[in-house]
Amino acid sequence: MPRPLRPALAGSALLLLTACVTPPEAPAVASVTAPDGTVFPVTAGPRGWEMRIDGQRVPCPRPEADSCHWAMRAHLAAQAALDEATG
């Protein structure tokens, strides 16, 4: 019959597994401000510059703050139009 793992060993194994699975947070390279004053941090990752707006990934067409600003404006306008259309 196998011996159960000691609690400390099990905790260490869980911590190691979590560290291996959880990716590091991408560094913020810029930020953009919406017309209502909300600030969205822009991060640089393997897929390029992007931001999270309401949990959705919004990519920047080019790695420039101005490009991210217009991507944010387009996303917010499309979301507002969709919200208006669906009631």
Residue 78 belongs to a domain: yes
Q: What are phi and psi of 12, to 5 degrees?
A: -65, -40
**Please, which residues have CB within 8 angstroms of residue 14's CB and are 6 or more apart in sequence?**
none
* Distances, alpha carbon 73 to alpha carbons 7, 9, 32, in Å: 51, 50, 10
CA distance 72 to 25: 21
pLDDT at 69: 98
What pLDDT, in 10s, does the model give residues 11-61?
Answer: 666 566 565 655 667 789 999 999 999 999 999 999 999 999 999 999 999
Residue 52 belongs to a domain: yes
pLDDT at 77: 97
pTM over 0.75: no
Domain that holds residue 71: 26-85
Q: How many domains does the chain have?
A: 1
Residue 5 belongs to a domain: no
Residue 37 belongs to a domain: yes
Spatial contact of 45 and 23, defined as CB atoms under 8 Å apart: no
Residue 68 belongs to a domain: yes
Residue 19 belongs to a domain: no
Q: Given the structure tokens 């590091």, which residue do they identify? A: 24
Residue 9 belongs to a domain: no
